Amino acid sequence: MLVEQYRHGGEDFFLEIPAGKIEGNETNEEGIEREVREETEYISKMKPIKLGEFMVNPSTQNNKVITYLLVDAVKEYEQNLDDLEEIDTTLVDFDKLGELLKTNHIKKQLFTANAYFMAKDYLLRNEA
């Protein structure tokens, strides 16, 4: 599940993974579950799988991106967006997403491309 929203820096709409910030005393896992639920209406009964974390640009910023994979998600909620958020959701086949990323057929940002390749690696390593 991807979300599409306007990004002022890029002056356009971008298709990307759901993301956000931790609120209050949430754990990282609670934060990603809340963001996915609020933005996409989906949730997984399984615990989020931590794929990795990295600094965005440690030469000028101190923020960190922590990437999770949610599997077997189902739609159980209604969107619950912040006042200034306008988000459309798009269900994209995982293999099709890889092709869209590699061929530049969708406008994307680094986090989405990185999350795709981290998830693909995880899924390949953990095939049944």
The structure's pTM equals 0.87
- The ranges of the chain with pLDDT < 50 are none
**The token pair that represents 53 in the structure block:** 């974390």
Structural domain total, the chain:
1
Residue 33 sits in a domain whose CATH number is 3.90.79.10
Q: What is the DSSP string of 34-94?
A: HHHHHHHSEE-SSPPEEEEEEES-TTT---EEEEEE--S-EE-S-----TT---EEE---H
pLDDT of residue 107: 77
pLDDT of amino acid 105: 83
Distance between CA atoms of 106 and 123, rounded to whole angstroms?
Answer: 23
**pLDDT value, residue 79:** 87
Q: What is the per-residue pLDDT for 128? A: 55
Q: 73 lies in which domain range?
A: 2-125
